[in-house]
């Protein structure tokens, strides 16, 4: 047996969530006294690939086929499944990112494997059982899931496992695969948003605002606080539906799920659909002028007050810190 980790990259660079998943996979490999292989798809420099060794990968399979330049669930899942078979991997780990959530079930079908998405801690392996703790009911509860299949797929929730550096090195090998035409999709048009802001799914701090901010012209203070804290910005669904903010910032049941170390919610009521995407944040701070806003029930810290008075004071306080 061995463990395989899919090392997801963004524009040729591995994300923090990838290093978390590699560290997690390494710990599982150690639990089972076996080796860890990483697979990378796309144009990634040899230095970047070799750096995966620092987090525990002993071998890195690099796939650079031009047909796989753009992410396509089906094609990527086929390649990762090929790699899993080549390495006789019985455990495949991915990040529970947007791509990971698309890949995990497809890998499950291709490898006839049980799948756990949203894993939050290392599997418990006792008495021949393999049990994984995962978030359930949109983050409102945890479930313990026993995997009984020979091959197991685990998608790790970003920000739930620490990046652990080792003194290891990785051997990088080219892995030549030819994707099936039926797996590929023709890209008609690609729209890229270029930004130097912190990426929302990977952010450790998120400053988020809702309809309480009244209009897009008031987001300057949200942006300013986010910049001061090195945070990403997010918003509630009605805010992005109204075109006040881009859809890429919408968090919740129908948006992105995040679990930053600190989530600051400003003028957001805390509807169940919003909480579904943010309730696994480590610390939640709520600013709302309504003391009965449901968000306060899940807040670690709360400020009852008008955002237009509280935010400028908070910004000044952070600047003075
Ligand atoms: P509101 O509900 O209008 O709340 C505004 C809040 O701001 C209030 O609590 C108010 O007290 C406060 N406020 C007002 N003025 C101020 C001020 N000056 N200072 C401080 N506070 C102030 N929503 C999501 O966010 N994400 C989702 O993924 C999502 N998915 C959904 C899926 C479905 C199927 C459905 C039905 C709904 C979904 N929703 C989602 C919508 C959700 O139910 C709520 O309607 C939405 O989250 C409310 O957004 P809000 O809190 O910004 O606005």
| Distance between Cα 289 and ligand 1 center (Å) | 13
Half-sphere exposure of 84 (CA within 13 A, CB side): 27
For residue 209, how far is its CA from the centre of ligand 1 (angstroms)? 9
Q: Three-class SS string for 109-176?
A: HHCCCEEEEEECCCCEEECCEEEEEEEECCCCEEEEEECCCCCEEEEECCCCCCCCCCCCCCEEEECC
10 is an annotated ligand-binding site residue = no
Q: Which of 45, 41, 46 minimizes the C-alpha distance to 172?
A: 46
Contact 258, 251 (CB under 8 A): yes
The per-residue pLDDT for 194 is: 67
**Is 26's C-beta closer than 6 angstroms to any atom of ligand 1?**
no
Q: What is the 260 CA–ligand 1 centroid distance (Å)?
A: 20
Q: Is the CB of 268 within 6 Å of ligand 1? A: yes
The answer, yes or no, to whether any atom of ligand 1 lies below 6 A from the CB of 267, is: yes
Q: Is 139 a pocket residue for ligand 1 (Cβ < 6 Å)?
A: no
Place of tokens 């497809």: 106
Residue 280's pLDDT is: 86
CB 262 within 8 A of CB 204: yes
**What spacing in Å lies between the alpha carbon of 160 and ligand 1's midpoint?**
26
Residue of the CA atom closest to atom 33 of ligand 1: 273
C-beta separation of 295 from 271 below 8 A: no
- How far is C-alpha 226 from the geometric centre of its chain's CA atoms? 20
Q: 55 CA to middle of ligand 1, Å?
A: 40
Q: Measured from the CB, is residue 261 less than 6 Å from ligand 1?
A: no
Q: Which secondary structure element, helix H or strand E, spans residue 94, and what is its range?
A: strand 89-95
pTM of the model: 0.83
Question: What's the 279 CA to ligand 1 centre distance in angstroms?
Answer: 15
pLDDT the model gives residue 271: 97
Do residues 43 and 10 make contact, with C-beta atoms less than 8 angstroms apart? no
Distance CA 265, CA 254 (A): 17
In total, the chain counts a number of residues equal to: 321
Coil, strand or helix at 263: strand
Contact 311 CB / ligand 1 (< 6 Å)? no
CA-nearest residue for atom 3, ligand 1, is: 211
308 lines ligand 1 (CB under 6 A): yes
Q: Does ligand 1 have an atom closer than 6 angstroms to the CB of 208?
A: no
> How remote is the CA of residue 72 from the centroid of ligand 1, in Å?
33
CA-closest candidate to residue 4, choices 80, 65, 75, 77: 80
**Residue 186: its H or E element:** none
The annotation status of 270 as a binding-site residue, yes or no, is yes
Substitution site in 221, 239, 248, 252 for ligand 1 pocket (most atoms within 8 Å of beta carbon) = 252
Low-confidence ranges of the chain (pLDDT < 70): 194
């Amino acid at each position: 047996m061995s463990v395989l980790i899919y090392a997801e990259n963004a524009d040729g660079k591995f994300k923090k969530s990838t290093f978390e998943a590699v560290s997690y996979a390494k710990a599982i490999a150690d639990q089972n006294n076996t080796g860890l292989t990483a697979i990378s798809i796309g144009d990634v420099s040899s230095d970047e690939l070799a750096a995966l060794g620092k987090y525990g990968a002993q071998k890195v399979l690099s796939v650079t086929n031009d047909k796989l330049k753009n992410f396509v669930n089906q094609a990527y899942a086929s390649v990762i499944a090929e790699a899993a078979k080549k390495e006789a991997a019985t455990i495949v780990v991915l990040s529970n990112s947007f791509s990971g959530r698309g890949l995990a079930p497809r890998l499950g079908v291709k490898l006839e494997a049980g799948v756990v998405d949203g894993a939050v801690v290392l599997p418990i392996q006792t008495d021949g059982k393999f049990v994984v703790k995962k978030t359930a009911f949109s983050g409102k509860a945890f479930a313990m899931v026993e995997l009984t299949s020979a091959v197991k797929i685990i998608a790790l929730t970003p920000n739930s496992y620490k990046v652990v550096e080792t003194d290891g090195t990785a051997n990088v090998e080219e892995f030549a695969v030819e994707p099936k035409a039926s797996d590929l999709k023709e890209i008609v048009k690609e729209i890229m948003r270029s930004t130097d802001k912190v990426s929302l799914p990977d952010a450790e701090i998120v400053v988020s605002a809702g309809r309480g901010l009244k209009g897009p012209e008031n987001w300057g203070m949200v942006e300013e606080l986010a910049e001061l804290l090195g945070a990403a910005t997010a918003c509630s669904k009605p805010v992005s539906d109204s075109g006040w903010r881009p859809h890429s910032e919408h968090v919740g049941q129908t948006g992105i799920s995040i679990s930053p170390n600190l989530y600051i919610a400003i003028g957001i009521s805390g509807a169940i659909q919003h909480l579904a995407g943010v309730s696994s944040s480590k610390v939640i701070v709520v600013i709302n002028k309504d003391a009965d806003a449901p968000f306060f029930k899940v807040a670690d810290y709360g400020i009852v007050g008008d955002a237009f008075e509280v935010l400028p004071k908070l910004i000044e306080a952070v600047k003075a810190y």
